[in-house]
Amino acid sequence: MKFFVLTVTVLLMLSSVFIFTSCESVSAQENLHADYNITVDVDDAENKVSVSQTTRITNYSDSPVKNLVFAFYPDAFTLKNPLPVDPSMLSAAYPYGINAGGYVFYQANGNDVESATICKTPCKIEIELLSPLKNGDSTDINFDFDLTLPLNNARYGYNDFSINLTFFYPVLCRSVSDDVDPTRFVFYEYESTGDPFVFDCADYELTLNCPRDWAAICSAPEIKSQDGKTIFKADGLRDIALFMSPVAQISTITQNDYTVNVMHDGTREYAAGYALDALQIFSDAFCELPVKTYSLIFTPFMTSGAEFSNAAVICNSLSFTQTEKVVAHEVAHQWWYYLVGSDQVAAPWQDESLAQWSTLLYFDKKNMRPYADALRNQYHISYTDYVSSQRALGETASCDVFRATTDYRDYTDYYVTVYCKAAIAADIAAKSVTTDVFCKALSAYAKQYCLDFAETEDLFKSLDDSVKGLGGALKSSLSVSFY
């Protein structure tokens, strides 16, 4: 096993090779396809960002499209709307005091644009076209805007360690066809619970202009660096995320096929080993990833971690054990979020239960079965403690898994249902066959919906297609209370 370490202090992320060979199917081009060209200028003030974005939209559907809908989540951090974090996490998210971010749009137009409505509905940009975009037609939508970042430990903002730019740009909403509307956009306002991001994969090129001595990581591989600018590019990303720091160092470690970058304060290089192990275990179990470079960003963070395409933010104050568990969970989201998209608002259990079960698989495969069993036990205890405490209060605690993030009473209800009960249900389904058979079924699911999108029934059907009754077993274990 080849294993070498290269530590780079305060350098821009090293380039990597983009190989696209792993998925059996690529995103079905039946809907609207977006191709983003984004330029990000960051000045020394650390909280001021200028963005120039052109998004080329191509209509691959049979239905002419007259309107476009984009989600623009910096609007959620202006404090004009409901707080972007759960009340129980306010002090973790805003340790420096609650403060508002802002934005100014200078341009929102295009040759075919009749009108643009910016955030009249929170976080929603509506574009009306002069004439319908027909099958095969493309149009460019231009956005020029400045961001004033909030000071926080959230996924969008800046703190004393890093600048976290995730979902900082207008993202074309996923379009679906149904009986009512041939082109309906799936738009969600920013939700403080869970991950409100439900988007199709798209192509991205991002040009970054930031101070030269800053460390920077982008979830798309770097393809060029010149004149103080760095260009990152990848096709078929679920999102593009950018992390910068005037004080961080980046460690880069390669093992077999995968390279892991760690942005950290000098104390977290070891975590690259966890990510490399997880990438290998899940690649062997499910399928190879299209991009072979993955990044971990250790920063003060309000929760234990958060996933993005080819990258995760990890809280920098976790113990070694917690760090390994969280890294394994976030790496699993490469398969259950990035490769296979699902509706994280309507069905948050779909990717989270598989990421939690994959974490158990990780520890099983690393010959740490007693720790995997301890995690299984923790899921059970968290779930049963919550249910019994609610019953003692005379409350019903249904822990119905099939709820949208908006339907949970509080974060604890969400946590025990999505991260514990749904994970136990996946484990029960796995045990109804064997771990290897369950992995093969998940592998078929990952390949079937690679860089595409799966509804909940698609997951059940895909499992049933692999092993008769397996999807039904998962559905029924999700549906019952174990306590």
Give the interface segment with Zn ion, choosing from 58-66, 161-169, 355-363, 399-407 (CB under 5 A): 355-363
For residues 5 to 44, the per-residue mask of contacts with Zn ion, x marking binding by CB under 5 A and - elsewhere, is: ----------------------------------------
Give the interface segment with Zn ion, choosing from 61-69, 107-115, 319-327, 354-362 (CB under 5 A): 354-362
Can you tell me the distance from the alpha carbon of 383 to that of 63, in angstroms, rounded to the nearest whole number? 46
Output 112 or 195, the one with its CB closest to Zn ion.
195
Can you tell me the distance from the alpha carbon of 118 to that of 350, in angstroms, rounded to the nearest whole number? 31
Output 206 or 355, the one with its CB closest to Zn ion.
355
Least distance (Å) between residue 305 CB and Zn ion: 7
Asked if 355 interacts with Zn ion (CB under 5 A), we say yes
Least distance (Å) between residue 53 CB and Zn ion: 28
Least distance (Å) between residue 298 CB and Zn ion: 17
Q: Which residue has the tokens 């290998």?
A: 280
Output 168 or 349, the one with its CB closest to Zn ion.
349
- DSSP states of 347-398 as a string? -THHHHHHHHHHHHHHHHHTT-HHHHHHHHHHHHHHHHHHHHHHHHTT----
| Two structure tokens written together for 417 | 């249902």
Least distance (Å) between residue 355 CB and Zn ion: 5
Output 59 or 358, the one with its CB closest to Zn ion.
358
Least distance (Å) between residue 195 CB and Zn ion: 8
Least distance (Å) between residue 419 CB and Zn ion: 8
For residues 178 to 207, the per-residue mask of contacts with Zn ion, x marking binding by CB under 5 A and - elsewhere, is: ------------------------------
Give the interface segment with Zn ion, choosing from 27-35, 53-61, 352-360, 472-480 (CB under 5 A): 352-360
Q: Which residue is nearest to Zn ion (CB)?
A: 355
Give the interface segment with Zn ion, choosing from 185-193, 311-319, 349-357, 363-371 (CB under 5 A): 349-357
Output 198 or 355, the one with its CB closest to Zn ion.
355
Output 11 or 89, the one with its CB closest to Zn ion.
89
> Number of C-alpha atoms within 13 angstroms, CB side, residue 267?
10
By the 8 A CB rule, do 129 and 41 touch? no
Question: Which residue pairs, CB below 8 angstroms and at least 24 apart, start in 456-462?
Answer: 456/342, 456/343, 456/347, 456/350, 456/402, 459/342, 459/350
Least distance (Å) between residue 336 CB and Zn ion: 8
Output 218 or 355, the one with its CB closest to Zn ion.
355
3-class secondary-structure state, position 290: coil
Give the interface segment with Zn ion, choosing from 145-153, 168-176, 347-355, 426-434 (CB under 5 A): 347-355
Least distance (Å) between residue 306 CB and Zn ion: 8
Edge to edge, the sheet with strand 215-218 lists: 156-158, 163-166, 241-245, 215-218
How many residues sit close enough to Zn ion to count as binding (CB under 5 A)?
2
Can you tell me the distance from the alpha carbon of 300 to that of 442, in angstroms, rounded to the nearest whole number? 33
How far is the CA of 440 from the CAs of 52, 175, 282, 462, 470, in angstroms?
A: 44, 30, 11, 11, 12
Asked if 327 interacts with Zn ion (CB under 5 A), we say no
| Two structure tokens written together for 409 | 């009473």
Asked if 354 interacts with Zn ion (CB under 5 A), we say no
Give the interface segment with Zn ion, choosing from 353-361, 407-415, 443-451, 471-479 (CB under 5 A): 353-361
| Two structure tokens written together for 186 | 């799936």
370 alpha carbon, distance to own chain's centre: 30
With CA atoms as reference, report the closest residue to 359 among 315, 405, 304. 304
Give the interface segment with Zn ion, choosing from 176-184, 237-245, 246-254, 351-359 (CB under 5 A): 351-359
Least distance (Å) between residue 352 CB and Zn ion: 5
Touching Zn ion, residues 42-81 (CB under 5 A)? none
Least distance (Å) between residue 297 CB and Zn ion: 16
By the 8 A CB rule, do 481 and 387 touch? yes
With CA atoms as reference, report the closest residue to 75 among 165, 153, 190, 185. 190
Can you tell me the distance from the alpha carbon of 7 to that of 9, in angstroms, rounded to the nearest whole number? 6
Site residues for Zn ion per CB under 5 A? 352, 355
